[in-house]
Amino acid sequence: MRVRMGGFTLLEMIVVLVIIGLIMGLVGPRLFGQADKAKVQTAETQVKMLKGALETMRLDISRYPSTDEGLGLLNTKPTEAAGARQWRGPYLDETVPNDPWDRPYVYRGEASATQGFTLYSLGADGQPGGEDLNADVGYLPAK
């Protein structure tokens, strides 16, 4: 007596792969769109976290970092004597993060429209300005 082993035919496998391909064609773009929105939200959150660290440091040394010192001052003691004595950092648990698109945040010591400093990400396209996912995120330069 022969026992027949069950299995899938080549045609059944092809049908299943076509169905999976159709589903991915419909769902995939929506998932990628959500990932891009999540990057923008992450950039907004990181800018707010960096703002908090900058504000705490300002309370200690009575100033924001200069453009030359940059965000590195959050983890490295200032070189001038008065600031070095008052510095109580590091003000971040880790190094300064890059934005979600793996580029450094833009920081300048000049005031933005709403803050005493300028701090922002250039968005998905890495270029100044832009709209939607390509828009700059953070405390932008005063115009």
Question: In whole angstroms, what separates CA 129 from the centre of its chain?
Answer: 17
Of residues 67 and 11, the one with the higher pLDDT is: 67
Per-residue pLDDT reduced to its tens digit, 54-111: 999 999 888 899 899 899 989 988 888 877 888 888 988 899 999 999 999 999 988 8
Q: Domain containing 94: what range? A: 43-139
Residue 139 pairs in a beta bridge with 119
Helix (H, G, I), strand (E, B) or coil at 114: coil
Mean pLDDT of 7-23: 83
Give the confidence band of 8 by pLDDT, cuts at 50, 70, 90: confident
65-94: buried (b, 16+ CB within 10 Å) or exposed (e) per residue?
beeebbbebbeeebeeeebeeebebebbee
73: in domain: yes
State the total domains in the chain: 1
28: in domain: no
14: in domain: no
Helix (H, G, I), strand (E, B) or coil at 125: coil
pLDDT at 32 over 90: no
Contact 19, 12 (CB under 8 A): no
Sign of CA dihedral 84, 86, 91, 97: negative
Of 3-12, 48-57, 120-129, where does mean pLDDT reach its minimum?
3-12
105: in domain: yes
Query: What is the domain-level CATH number for residue 89?
Result: 3.30.700.10
